[in-house]
Amino acid sequence: MTSGVKGSYKVYSCLYCSKEVRWGHSKINKFCDNICQGKYKWENETVPRILQGIGGDYKRYLRDISERLVVINVKNVVRKVCGIINR
Ligand SMILES: [Zn+2]
């Protein structure tokens, strides 16, 4: 994560996409928007909590989820983070 002064205003890097964003008094100054904030929370808080809770047997958990988007997200994140899925 980088931060500093660029030109006449302070900047910070989005924790999720690393985009440089102008620092603001009324903002959290961690993410460029709330979409990135949501994705970051999902990948770094929600998914690890799910994986922890099911002891790595995420497939059994996935079968119980009806929300399709959630399944896709979990698969992508698991593939990226753990490299578990081999197909
Ligand atoms: Zn971002």
Q: What single-letter amino acid sits at 82?
A: C
Cross-strand partners of 6: 9
Q: How confident is the model at residue 84 (pLDDT cuts 50, 70, 90)?
A: low
CA of 44 to the centre of ligand 1 (A): 14
- Span 1-17, average pLDDT: 81
CA of 13 to the centre of ligand 1 (A): 8
Q: Taking the domains of the chain in order of start, what are their residue ranges?
A: 1-32, 33-87
Instruction: Give 85 or 65, the one with higher predicted confidence.
Output: 65
CA of 57 to the centre of ligand 1 (A): 30
pTM over 0.95: no
Query: Residue 81 pLDDT > 70, yes or no?
Result: no
Instruction: Give 46 or 87, the one with higher predicted confidence.
Output: 46
Distance, CA of 52 to CA of 26 (rounded, Å): 35
Laid out side by side, the sheet with 20-22 consists of 3-6, 9-13, 20-22
